[in-house]
Amino acid sequence: MTISVGDRLPTTNLVKATADGPDQVDTDSFFKGRKVALFAVPGAFTPTCSAKHLPGFVEKEAELKAKGVDEIACVSVNDAFVMGAWGKSAGAGDITMLADGNGDFAKAIGLTMDGSGFGMGTRSQRYSMLVNDGVVEQLNVEAPGEFKVSSAEHLLSEI
Per-residue pLDDT averaged across 103-123, rounded? Answer: 83
Higher model confidence: residue 97 or residue 43? Answer: 97
Residue type (1 letter), 21: G
Note if 49 is an active site residue: yes
Average confidence score pLDDT of the chain = 91
Predicted confidence (pLDDT) at residue 116 exceeds the cutoff of 80: no
| 74-93 pLDDT, tens digit each | 999 999 999 999 899 898 98
Helix (H, G, I), strand (E, B) or coil at 48: helix
- CATH of the domain spanning 13-158: 3.40.30.10
What sign does the CA torsion over 55, 126, 83, 18 have? Answer: positive
**Which has the minimum average pLDDT: 59-63, 102-106, 123-127?**
123-127
Which residue from 28, 3, 30 is spatially nearest to 98, judged by alpha carbons?
30
- Strand locations in the chain (E): 13-18, 21-26, 35-41, 71-76, 96-99, 112-114, 122-124, 127-132, 135-141
Higher model confidence: residue 64 or residue 117? Answer: 64
Please pick, among 44, 49, 106, 130, the residue that the annotation labels catalytic: 49
DSSP class per residue in 145-159: T--STTSHHHHHHH-
User: The whole model's pTM is what?
Assistant: 0.93
pLDDT value at position 53? 87
